[in-house]
Chains A and B, each alone.
Chain A
Amino acid sequence: MILFWIWALAFDGKGVPGTTAEAFAALYERFLPKVFRFVNYRIADTDTAENLTSLVFEKALTKFDTYKSDKAAFSTWVFSIARNVVTDHFRDRGKMQTVGLKHAESVSDGRLSPDEHLVRTEELQKLMGSIASLSGQEKDIIALKFGGELTNRQIARNTGLSETNVGTIIYRAVRKLRSSFMESRHG
């Protein structure tokens, strides 16, 4: 377990903290926002996104024996788990939907006024509604890019697509989102 976390940190180019718990805490702080955002882009219901994010990290802890650092960076590996968790969720639910019971909310960091926070939350919900209109593949790639902050190369490795194809999908999807978002803003 100690080796796992230290390898993961070293492989991702960060310094290695002292204890296992410190190493884990550093990885957790670094990847939790990205994993949560990826899941939340795919599943707009915040409660479900939180529960699935928990499941991703629990599986990562359980599966560390199967992680091979020479085969994939830790970020690629953990998002492979995240994609499987989301896929399993949709299969179990029997439907592909991204708009759920509790819509995505903007978490206030205290720098915004209540009005600004409300506007931001509404904009986020409009954006989530626009994302729902994308194809499954586009949603997946947008979530990996904007949520997981993966490079196109990492996304290509994760999805089996070419790097060029990933770039094309991202560009076209963002253009589609822009049109859809503007329509919902003025609609």
Chain B
Amino acid sequence: MGKEQNREKRFCEQLDRLLAGEEARPGPQDGNEMLSTLEFARHMVSLRPAPSPVFAAMLKARLLERLSQQEEAERKKRQTGMLQRLFPRLLTWQFAATAAMVLFLLVGTVLWRTGVFESNGTGVSVTASIAIDASTDKVTYRPGEVVQIKVDLRNTTSEPMKIDHFPPIISLMSDSGQPVYTFAEGTRTVVLAPDGVASFTVAWNQRDDKGAAVPGGRYSVELEDLDLQGRAIRLKLTNPVQFEIHPVQ
């Protein structure tokens, strides 16, 4: 190995020590040039940029949420497979399962029409089940940059669901929990089939309800009541949707 290569190898060994948080240990054979290059490398290591704690926390939350959704999807797939093993694809089982489903739907429809499920203080109160998934196109934004917010509403029941005034009211909240801008509810009526999804996207120009530019900081998304077949249903995101606007410099 040549002299130059030797020097490069020794430099990289010392650099690895610096990157590991240790002190460099130049040898007596290392000249001034090597020492000054090592010193500069130490300075470079000390100047290394770091992710902001806010960005790190928000990205972690988003990834954990996605991980949780993927695990849930895998769990459901495993359950379906298990059910298929428990109930082999014999004609008899298929017929029995279909008959049971039809009976269940008939009974459920009759009971629904008779108002058994409507809350009257003494009966059973049934809350419609809607899964809400919301996200922003980015985690951090520059001042004035448009924030795209996408919302998916999924009907997790086994019956069609009629939503009046779609899309629902959506509010941007400051870090202190105050609403800064509210998108008015829509005028459409949407019918969601079982497991159907209704999506909408809103674009926020970082202005408050008075038209003034909002200051930098953390913001979150909240959905207001949804008009479901004449009943007001409180919507809550199971996982917060948050993003950060960098302050004006």
Contact = CB atoms under 8 A, between A and B. Distances in A.
Contacts of B47: 106, 120, 123-124, 127
Contact of B8 (A25, A37, A47, A167): A167
Given A21-B67, A33-B50, A104-B49, A146 B59 contact: no
B70 interface: yes
Nearest to B34: A171
Tell me the dominant secondary structure on chain A's binding face. Answer: helix
Nearest to A105: B49
Contacts of A46: 49
Interface in B56-74: 56, 59-60, 62-64, 66-68, 70-71, 74
Contacts of B33: 175
Interface residues of B, number: 44
B236 interface: no
A58 B47 CA distance: 27
Interface residues of A, number: 47
A175 B37 contact: yes
Contact of A170 (B15, B48, B51, B62): B15
Interface in B143-172: none
Nearest to A104: B49
Contacts of B142: 47, 101-102
Interface in A77-112: 101-102, 104-107
Interface string B22-53: 00000000000100110011011101111111
Interface stretch (A6-14, A49-57, A66-74): A49-57
A147 B53 CA distance: 17
Given A25-B64, A178-B36, A107 B51 contact: yes
A53 B55 CA distance: 10
B8 A146 contact: no
B225 interface: no
Contacts of A107: 49-53
12 contacts: A1-B74, A21-B67, A50-B52, A50-B55, A54-B139, A61-B70, A106-B49, A106-B50, A107-B52, A146-B48, A164-B8, A168-B5
Given A107-B53, A177-B40, 8 more contacts: A1-B71, A21-B67, A36-B49, A51-B139, A120-B47, A146-B45, A174-B40, A178-B40
Q: Which 5 pairs, one residue from A and one from B, show the smallest C-beta to C-beta distance? A: A178-B40, A36-B51, A171-B8, A107-B50, A167-B8
Interface of A: 1, 20-21, 24-25, 28, 32-33, 36-37, 40-41, 46-47, 50-51, 53-54, 57-58, 61, 101-102, 104-107, 120, 123-124, 127, 145-147, 149, 151-152, 164, 167-168, 170-171, 174-175, 177-178, 181
